[in-house]
Structure 1
Amino acid sequence: MSTQLKAVGARTEALRSATVYAILIAISSVHLMNDMMQSVVTALFPVLKDSLSLSLSQIGWIAFTLNMTSSVMQPVVGLISDKRPSPWMLPVGMFSSMIGMAGLAVAPNFYLLLLAVVFVGLGSAVFHPEGSRVVHLAAGNRRAFSQSIYQVGGNFGHMLGPLMTMAIFIPLGQKGAAWGMALAATAIIILMKVVPWYKESLAAHDGKLKKKAAGAARPPLASKVVAMALGILVLIVFARSWYGAAIGNFYQFYVEETYGLSIKAAQVPLFLFLAAGVAGTFFGGMLADRIGRKKMMLISIVGAAPFALMLPHLPLEWVYPIIVLLGFILQSGFSVSVVYAQELMPGKVGTASGLITGLAFGMGGLGAVVLGYLADAHTLTYVMGLCSALPLLGLLAILLPKDRREAA
């Protein structure tokens, strides 16, 4: 009898620690569509700049509105969902984004455009914490790798922004944003398959996960240590986000101005940066499960800083290979930082996700506003040179405590 009980226990533990790839791929695909809808906003910048006669500071305000709407709400949604997970919030978030896509296509002025962007941001804010909880439940014992699959979906969605500019928005103009409604509808259909699994997994595993976190063999870190570590982590992601805001929102205008590229040709280096970031996110998550989260974050920052510093000073032919290396290395630590935060805060998956992918990442929108005003007041060359030092702040990762895998 004891042998049978042990066998049952072993099978139960195997199922608990197994990675549910079908759910991971489904939620990652929804993440792709969610972030594609966000990318529609930035992909429209070259078109909107001309059609609505926007200044660079106004473009910065659009990026700020998108990021701040999602970033301020994500930790709030995370706190609520940690107390009461709500699977139904996933399709509701997508519906909000659908409204935003419709608004983007028809907005006749700057202020109505901002209102449409608010709906897109709210949809993203609702989706991300709940999406991260789905990933956490489906991850089994491969948390960093599973988080990388999820983040690859989002990064891939952002990567498509320049391609959308070239293929859709330059030929069709602002009205081309309406196709984003089809993305939202597709995402809702997929989520209708994910939500039942999510409900069952919460009922079967959420209590066990909380008990495991509360009764972990390793004692929890002191609250002061956790607060310090989270502060450093937020600062690192914040610096990466400001640098990402410089590249994602203004680098296309910089290469037009500096190298004389057309709007279409200017999308190529941006696309390369984002595409390399997708690959970096995936491989960074795989490597972090082997060498540790803190080491992976340090490798990402230390490796990316020299390329960021040299990028504004390169001839055009060197821009392409260097920006690929920069995107790959810089983004290899992003999904890892999310998992590290979740392991610092056991039992608070939504809060940790909201804090890192929401507040810290979204505060990059503030960078877009500041950088837009600096570009208008000075030059894009000045802004790019200034931002190139931002990845150096990632060296603060040396001060982070060791990984807390057992306590997650």
Structure 2
Amino acid sequence: MNRRAVFTFSGTHFLNDLVTTGMVPALVVMYKQALHLNYTQSTLVVLVSYLTSSVMQPIFGTSTDKKPRVWLLALGAFLSVMGLALTGLVHNLVLLLVFIGLSGVGSGAFHPEASRGTHLAAGSRRGLAQSVFQVGGNAGQAFGPLIISLFIGRTGLRGLLWLVPVAFIAGGLGGQIIPWLSGKVRQAKGRRREVAGENNIAGVVLLVTIIILRSWCQVGVVVFLPFYFHNLSLATSEIFNFVFVGAGALGTFIGGALSDRIGQKRLLVLSMLVATPFALVFPYTHGALAVIDLLFFGFSVLSSFAVTVVLMQMMLPKNIALASGLSIGFGVGAGGIGATFMGGISDLFGVATVFTILSVLPLLGSILGVFLPRDVKRA
């Protein structure tokens, strides 16, 4: 495993996901208050962010599988951060959605090339390499709400302009690995014709369904926790989010490393099954018990994050970048759709109903995971 490359991709992933999937959902409350939005309008922010990322990732993945464009790694990371930074200047919903969409498109361009690069740098440690890469993203998701709590909550939305220099850092970090990545992609292109095994479309459809269920659960918790704990301050509720996603980052690393030993399918099924009781209990917990439950819930439900990327690459050995677009992008976009749908439910029935729905999703994912193919040839 090329550690320098893997950790470079992971660090860039941290900065990208810090804003796109870390700060955007956590900013919904502030956007709602500043622009006087209802729940459905507020969750449109998440929908646009995730849909642009979701739609663009498979498109970029399919395109770059045919003709690699490694420079999208740096450009995408730059745009994802810059787009969110510019939302600090908006005064209406339309302009907000435009800049959020720009950020999502940048994230959509970044992920396929970064995931392909991690795949090429992994050697025989695919589970470990993808877990390091995904931990970067999950850590960004975890620190996003914390930044909202400690900084943006005090400065207001204009504080997002401090992300402008971060955008240049993200672009530079991705740019310095491009020469190495270009060489590896050329080598891999020559070997691709010799790869044995066909794409497993049935397995891909089933795995995408499981990823969507997990994404609905993850995004639902992150978006609706501040509304659910309405009696707590914004800072406190975002710390709860940090606990959930931070535990998920740890789970992602351990799950990915463990999957190299026990198998990706088994890890996926067990992680979703273990998450089920914590999901079911959460609506009935309060205070310290809620924090403890969120810790175990986040750890277990997100420990399969890197694993599903590796599984998708195994099922699409001829389309590695597309595999990333489906396992990361499509699932995240589906999370945005789920958040908007649950926003409508909240307007009609209350936020508590959302958490009742979320509590059964890990069990459904675990059951479907049993039917995944056992033996998939490695790319």
TM-score, normalisation: structure 1: 0.90
> Aligned pair in 2 of structure 1 residues 94, 191: CA closer, same or farther (>3 Å)?
same
Among 21, 25, 43, the residue aligned to 2:7? 25
Deviation per CA, 1:15-69: give whole Å up to 9, x if none.
xxxx000011011100000011212322322222222112111121100000000
Which whole-Å CA distance do the structure 1 matches of 2:378 and 2:194 have between them? 8
Aligned position for 1:12:
none
Which whole-Å CA distance do the structure 1 matches of 2:332 and 2:233 have between them? 30
Which whole-Å CA distance do the structure 1 matches of 2:372 and 2:101 have between them? 35
Q: State the percentage of identical aligned residues.
A: 36
Task: Report the AA paired with residue 254 of structure 1.
Answer: Y
Which whole-Å CA distance do the structure 1 matches of 2:126 and 2:110 have between them? 19
Q: Tell me if 1:236 matches 2:210.
A: yes
Aligned position for 2:293:
322
Among 375, 382, 389, the residue aligned to 2:353? 382
SS where residue 176 of structure 2 aligns?
helix
Whether the aligned pair in 2 keeps the contact of 1:68 and 1:363 (CA below 8 Å) is yes
Deviation per CA, 1:121-167: give whole Å up to 9, x if none.
00000000010110011000111110011000000001012211111
Q: Tell me if 1:50 matches 2:33.
A: yes
Q: Tell me if 1:70 matches 2:42.
A: no
Which whole-Å CA distance do the structure 2 matches of 1:300 and 1:242 have between them? 16
Aligned position for 1:397:
369
Among 145, 153, 158, the residue aligned to 2:136? 153
Deviation per CA, 1:314-371: give whole Å up to 9, x if none.
1323111111001001111111011001011112111111011011222110011100
Aligned position for 2:17:
35
Which whole-Å CA distance do the structure 2 matches of 1:299 and 1:364 have between them? 22
Measured after TM superposition, the shift of residue 206 of structure 1 is 3.1
Q: Tell me if 1:194 matches 2:168.
A: no
Aligned position for 2:304:
333
Whether the aligned pair in 1 keeps the contact of 2:145 and 2:241 (CA below 8 Å) is yes
Alignment of 1:248-287 (within 5 A): 248-256=222-230, 260-287=231-258
Q: Tell me if 1:61 matches 2:44.
A: yes
Measured after TM superposition, the shift of residue 197 of structure 1 is 0.4
> Aligned pair in 2 of structure 1 residues 98, 314: CA closer, same or farther (>3 Å)?
closer
Deviation per CA, 1:224-269: give whole Å up to 9, x if none.
xx2221111111110111111210111121012xxx2122111222
Aligned position for 1:169:
152
Kindly report structure 1 stretches of 4+ aligned residues shifted beyond 6 Å: none
Which whole-Å CA distance do the structure 2 matches of 1:388 and 1:98 have between them? 32
Bigger radius of gyration, 1 or 2? 1
Whether the aligned pair in 1 keeps the contact of 2:149 and 2:239 (CA below 8 Å) is no
Deviates more, 1:351-360 or 1:90-99: 90-99
Alignment of 1:281-360 (within 5 A): 281-360=252-331
Which whole-Å CA distance do the structure 2 matches of 1:94 and 1:159 have between them? 18
Which whole-Å CA distance do the structure 2 matches of 1:248 and 1:182 have between them? 26
Task: Report the AA paired with residue 151 of structure 1.
Answer: Q
> Aligned pair in 2 of structure 1 residues 98, 292: CA closer, same or farther (>3 Å)?
closer
Which runs of no fewer than 5 residues in structure 1 stay unpaired? 1-18, 215-219
Which whole-Å CA distance do the structure 2 matches of 1:171 and 1:299 have between them? 41
